[in-house]
Structure 1
Amino acid sequence: MADRRLQVFYTVVKAGSFTKAAERLFMTQPAVTFQIKQLEEHFNTRLLERGHGKLKLTPAGEIVFAYAEKMLSLDEELETRVAELTSELAGLLSIGASTTLATYWMPRVIEEFKRAHPRVIPRLVVGTSQLTQQRVLERELDLGIIEIAPDEPGLDQKQIGRDELWAIFAPGHPLAQRKGKPVRAKELAAYPFIQRDPGNGIREITEAFFEAAGIAPESLTIAAEMGTLQGVKHLAAAGIGVAIASRAALLEELRTGQLAAAPLDPPQYTPFELIAPKDRFRSRLIMTFVDFLQERIRAMEQQLPSAEFFFGR
């Protein structure tokens, strides 16, 4: 119901270019340009400055953008509230998740939610904790679930679970001969270390673990930095170095003997933080999924094998 010109203008600003906006709106670029021209004629002023391949809002454009954001949000809320009175849960649900959560936790949650609500279309967007937080903050996603969530005034956040972190190494590694005895930071620091990419939540916890033991992260011998957990596990299994990873991500490799592992001393945990834009309308679909997510994460956490299961004590 919102003015189409405002929708196009808002999308152009968010996308940063007419070309990208046209792709998102399934329009031609000339059609997008025409809509912006119509809006500028309506207000009798320029809203966008175009130069050097970049778009910049004029003072008038900043005002129009702020109101367009509010009006489009209210339009979405109106449509959703009326639909909720007349139909079952349906529609697109955009969820962001960090790599480990997206790989080992969210598929099962989404599968079970989809079976209960077949008309819902879940969209899972994967990225580092830092990137996911930014996408939620910019309202590109309805929700995010990440390992680390620094305080951010524009977000509501809540811890909904956690997983233990373990050290991992090749089965023939010297640390594997300890048969699961907890490993201290000083012992890990004696070997080449496989690090996660910047912005990854587990990297932040890992660096804090070493710092608490008086070991500067930059003093570690870094064997590699990997953007995927699968890459970290592959290099560790190949004997390239040691690493730290979430317990849930290791179960198959430990079961088949591809990897060896040990708990950390003192124990370390990665929290699961649910984040959402503050002061944004939350539909019945979003709230239903949030309740379901919290319940399933708690249940799955309780089902994970303990250290004693793999290593004995």
Structure 2
Amino acid sequence: MADRRLQVFHAVAKHGSFTRAAEHLFMTQPAVTFQIKQLEEHFNTRLLERGHGRISLTPAGELVLAYAERILGLSEELESRVSELTDELSGVLNIGTSTTIAAYWLPQLLERFKRTFPRVIPRVVVGNSQLTENRVATRELDIGLIEIVSDQQAIEHFSAAKDALLVICAPTHPLAKASAVQASDLIEHAFITRDPGNAIREIAEEFFEAAGIPMAEVNICAELGSLATVKHLAAEGMGYAIASQAAILRDIREGRLVGIPLEPRIYTPLEVIIPRDKFRSRLINTFAEHARTELAAMAETFALKAQLASRNH
């Protein structure tokens, strides 16, 4: 429904390249250039500055881009709403998730949703929980799946489940034989933590501070944005980390890592968030309810698997 010229202009502005925009839109580069030329002739002004292999927006281009994003968003929403009248749930759904949820929870959640609603196109953006929360608040995303309880007024959140956090380390690490560990037991050992804005990092810091241990006294040896890298360094004996139970079950079963409960027990929440005053299509409401139900069921399954894994090791 949206003007093709606006779609092409939006792609060029976002990708910063005529070539990459053409690849994204499955068009030839001359066709992309023609559409931009047509749009500039329509407004009788230059929208893009081209030079030295780079593309930048003119002031008029910045204005057109802002409106293009709103128009394209409304066009997608219109497609979704009209399809609802025929009882066919379809359209693009912009989903943001934290890295852990994206890796260990989202695949099964999306698979089951797609089997029921094959015409829905999930568009997933992965980032840490804080980034996802901010993008939902500014309505860049329709829905978010995160591991922190949102306190932003612009967001409505629903608690779906919780996932236990465990200390992970190599089987040869001094902590590996412990049945449970307190914050004071961890001080003398190197800690592999997550990147700022990561929900598990925030919960871990609260765990130490609740025990009266300031983070300045915690022996941090690395700050990593990649959970795979965290697990690798821990498995290689570089230190311990704190990770989601769901994310380490396979590693524990295969003997690469040991998972040790924290005392007191701590958990990461699994939250479904949507913009508070966002127009609620049936697609958004249906996926939000699906996510809450599936996350709760999967959390029970992960907890059962963790009990079986602990008995076998």
- TM bucket (normalised to shorter chain) is 0.7 to 0.9
Aligned to 1:39: 39
Q: Distance in 1 between matches of 2:152 and 2:13?
A: 23
Are the structure 2 counterparts of residues 289 and 147 from structure 1 closer, same or farther at C-alpha, using a change threshold of 3 Å? same
Bigger drift between 288-297 and 168-177 goes to: 168-177
Change in 2 beyond 3 A, CA 1:122/1:71: closer
- For structure 1, which runs of at least 5 residues remain unmatched after alignment? none
The separation in 2 between residues aligned to 1:2 and 1:240, in whole angstroms, is 53
Distance 1:156 1:35, change over 3 A: farther
Question: Larger deviation: 96-105 or 128-137?
Answer: 128-137
The Cα offsets for residues 48-73 of structure 1, whole Å up to 9 and x where unpaired, read as 44567351341x44443343333323
What is the Cα deviation at residue 92 of structure 1? Answer: 4.3
Task: After TM superposition, give the deviation of residue 298 of structure 1 in Å.
Answer: 1.6
Distance of 1:136 and 1:51 partners within structure 2: 35
Counterpart residue number, 1:7: 7
1:98 Cα deviation from its structure 2 partner: 1.9
Match for 1:252: what amino acid?
R
Could you report, residue by residue, the CA deviation over 1:94-126 in whole angstroms, capped at 9, with x for unpaired residues?
Answer: 433222212221222222223323344445443
> 1:262 matched to which residue of 2?
260
Cα deviation 1:151-179 (Å, max 9, x = unaligned): 5566544433221211122233332333x
CA contact (8 A) 2:149 2:269 kept: no
Describe the shift of the 1:18–1:216 C-alpha distance in structure 2 as closer, same or farther (beyond 3 A): farther
Partner secondary structure for residue 161 of structure 2: strand
Aligned partner of 1:118: which letter?
A: P
**Offset at residue 274 of structure 1 (A):** 2.3
Counterparts of 2:20 and 2:110, CA distance in 1: 29
Task: Call closer, same or farther: CA 1:133–1:7 in 2, change over 3 Å.
Answer: same
TM-score by length of 1: 0.81
Who is 2:18 aligned against? 18
**SS at 1:175 equivalent:** coil
Which SS does the other structure have where 2:175 is aligned? Answer: helix
Aligned partner of 1:186 in structure 2 is 184
Tell me which residue corresponds to 2:270: 272
Q: Which residue of 2 aligns with 1:78?
A: 78
Aligned pairs for 1:224-235 within 5 A: 224-235=222-233
Alpha carbons of structure 1 residues 275 and 16: separation in structure 2 relative to 1, 3 Å: farther
The SS at the match of 1:302 is: helix
Q: Which moved more, 1:105-114 or 1:140-149?
A: 140-149
Q: For residues 10 and 131 of structure 2, what CA distance do their matches in structure 1 show?
A: 22
Matches within 5 A, 1:1-313: 1-50=1-50, 53-58=54-59, 60-133=60-133, 136=136, 141-148=141-148, 151-152=151-152, 155-178=155-178, 180-181=179-180, 183-277=181-275, 279-305=277-303, 310=310
Residue 129 of structure 1 contacts residue 149 of structure 1 at CA under 8 Å; is this kept in 2? no
Shift of 1:235: 2.8
Gaps of 5+ in 2: none
Shift of 1:91: 4.4
User: Bigger shift: 39-48 or 121-130?
Assistant: 121-130
Structure-2 change in CA distance of 1:51 and 1:158 (3 Å)? farther
TM-score (norm 2): 0.81
Q: Secondary structure at the match of 1:265?
A: coil
Rounded Cα–Cα distance in structure 1 between residues aligned with 2:217 and 2:32: 53
Cα 1:163/1:276, change in 2 over 3 Å: same
d(CA) in 1 for partners of 2:276 and 2:294?
A: 24
Shift of 1:193: 1.4
2:8, 2:276 → 1: CA distance?
A: 24
**What secondary structure sits across from 2:102 in the alignment?**
helix
Greater mean deviation of Cα atoms: 188-197 or 288-297: 188-197
Contact kept? 2:272, 2:291, Cα under 8 Å: no
Task: Say which SS state the counterpart of residue 27 (structure 2) adopts.
Answer: coil
Distance 2:276 2:35 in 1: 31
The change in CA–CA distance for 1:303 and 1:259 in structure 2 (over 3 A counts) is same
User: Aligned to 1:176, what secondary structure does the other structure show?
Assistant: coil
Deviation, structure 1 residue 291:
0.9
Q: Could you tell me how far apart the structure 1 residues matched to 2:176 and 2:7 are?
A: 58
* Other structure's SS at 2:303 match: coil
Q: What's the CA shift for 1:277? A: 4.7
- The Cα RMSD (Å) is 3.2
CA distance in 2, matches of 1:221, 1:74: 50
Q: The residue matched to 1:205 in structure 2 has which SS?
A: helix
Which stretch of structure 1 is more off in the superposition, 163-172 or 63-72?
Answer: 63-72
Q: Classify the secondary structure of the residue corresponding to 2:262.
A: strand
Are 1:77 and 1:281, in contact at CA under 8 Å, matched by a contact in 2? Answer: no
